[in-house]
Homo-oligomer: A and B are copies of this chain.
Amino acid sequence: MEYRKIKDEDNDGGTVSDDIENLRGKGFSGASVSNVPVREQSKWKRKTVVTLALTFLTSSQAILIVWSKRAGKYEYSVTTANFLVETLKCALSLAALARIWKTEGVTEDNRLRTTLDEVIVYPIPAVLYLVKNLLQYYIFAYVDAPGYQILKNLNIISTGVLYRIILKKKLSEIQWAAFILLCAGCTTAQLNSRSDHVLQTPLQGWIMAIVMALLSGFAGVYTEAIIKKRPSRNINVQNFWLYIFGMAFNAVAILIQDFDAVVDKGFFHGYSVITTLMILNHALSGIAVSMVMKYADNIVKVYSTSVAMLLTAVVSVFLFGFQLTLAFFLGATVVSVSVYLHSAGKLQR
């Protein structure tokens, strides 16, 4: 299979902890700093920036959702908003490319023109997400919404397993332990008095949750495979083609689901300041995810979004007067230790 080749072609697939290791190496012997290639340093900086950006954007995304729920029900059509998110991402990618073309000129790696061989796989993640979103309607027959939030943490495990199987990248035993802890810690942090309902989930519900976790994990890992298959290809070009398919899929969704409403009330009916902020945030988060896939990997993405979940809760205490539970503190402790172990596990390999 094609994505099996990726491992060999990929010279850019180290995780953030790779670079933490490099950085520590630098720290130990100040004199050898000049021996470390400048390229390594700039790679590490780039990974750190995209990871922090993803964490910040994911966290503020959740806060915007809470804010919009407090402000009242969604009055706008979700399909038009999704279409605008994809369009905005496309536009931002093009803008970035225009700047690059100005400074570097058009090259083999940054030209927009592509081949069927390159783009044929680009719609696959979008299709996987579509199937997952369709399943989402059916799973609520077996699980309630808070239960589904808990089961979604299975994504962490599925991403780790598929990352190992499909991208053939190894995690050390300590890193696997850290990954199990990340899943347990995130779930613990979300525990509330109704969480035990999830244990009464019927077998069909469990199977659907596991299938959805696998689809979601597969889509993530497959996106990483696509992006890393051509390491020298400019990320903005790759993004542009990914988002073009996103626009196409969402245009179809508007036609099927919301055509009448858009014709009757107009495309932008019900849009507010919060809606605009959410569209902007989703677009930037989407680009940050692509960047993390290019310059880091799915494991970093999972850690980044998990830490964002904890940050969201802490920020919500100040913004919305939320109460933190003992379960949250315990889960946050376990997630913190997991982050440490992910890095320590790499160092000791």
The reply to whether A173 and B344 form a contact with Cβ atoms under 8 Å apart is: yes
Counting CB contacts under 8 A, is A235 at the interface? no
The reply to whether B327 and A327 form a contact with Cβ atoms under 8 Å apart is: yes
The reply to whether B341 and A191 form a contact with Cβ atoms under 8 Å apart is: no
Q: Mark A312-328, 1 if CB is under 8 A from B, else 0.
A: 00000000000011110
Interface magnitude class on chain A: 20 to 34
Counting CB contacts under 8 A, is A188 at the interface? yes
Tell me, rounded to whole Å, the shortest Cβ–Cβ distance linking A220 to chain B. 23
Contact of A337 among B177, B188, B191, B330 (CB under 8 A): B177
The reply to whether B333 and A184 form a contact with Cβ atoms under 8 Å apart is: yes
Residues of chain B contacted by A199 (CB below 8 angstroms): 324-326
Chain B residue at smallest Cβ distance from A191? B327
The reply to whether B188 and A344 form a contact with Cβ atoms under 8 Å apart is: no
The reply to whether A150 and B326 form a contact with Cβ atoms under 8 Å apart is: yes
Residues of chain B contacted by A326 (CB below 8 angstroms): 150, 187, 191, 195-196, 198-199
Counting CB contacts under 8 A, is A334 at the interface? yes
Tell me, rounded to whole Å, the shortest Cβ–Cβ distance linking A147 to chain B. 10
Counting CB contacts under 8 A, is A35 at the interface? no
Q: Mark A193-226, 1 if CB is under 8 A from B, else 0.
A: 1011011000000000000000000000000000
Counting CB contacts under 8 A, is A174 at the interface? yes
Counting CB contacts under 8 A, is A289 at the interface? no
Counting CB contacts under 8 A, is A180 at the interface? yes
Residues of chain B contacted by A174 (CB below 8 angstroms): 174, 341, 344, 348
The reply to whether A337 and B187 form a contact with Cβ atoms under 8 Å apart is: no
Contact of A177 among B180, B191, B341, B348 (CB under 8 A): B341
Counting CB contacts under 8 A, is A268 at the interface? no
Counting CB contacts under 8 A, is A340 at the interface? yes
The reply to whether A181 and B150 form a contact with Cβ atoms under 8 Å apart is: no
The reply to whether A325 and B196 form a contact with Cβ atoms under 8 Å apart is: yes
Complex Cα gap A331–B185 (Å): 9
Residues of chain B contacted by A193 (CB below 8 angstroms): 193
Complex Cα gap A282–B324 (Å): 39
Tell me, rounded to whole Å, the shortest Cβ–Cβ distance linking A332 to chain B. 9
Complex Cα gap A325–B199 (Å): 8
Q: List 20 A-B contacts (CB under 8 A).
A: A150-B326, A177-B340, A177-B341, A177-B344, A181-B181, A181-B334, A184-B334, A185-B334, A187-B326, A187-B330, A188-B188, A188-B327, A191-B326, A191-B327, A191-B330, A196-B325, A198-B326, A199-B324, A199-B325, A327-B327
Beyond A187-B330, A188-B331, 17 extra complex contacts between A and B, CB < 8 Å: A173-B344, A174-B341, A174-B344, A177-B340, A180-B333, A181-B181, A181-B334, A181-B337, A184-B333, A187-B326, A188-B188, A188-B334, A193-B193, A195-B326, A195-B327, A199-B326, A334-B334
The 7 closest A-B pairs by CB, nearest first: A184-B333, A348-B348, A188-B330, A184-B330, A177-B337, A193-B193, A195-B326
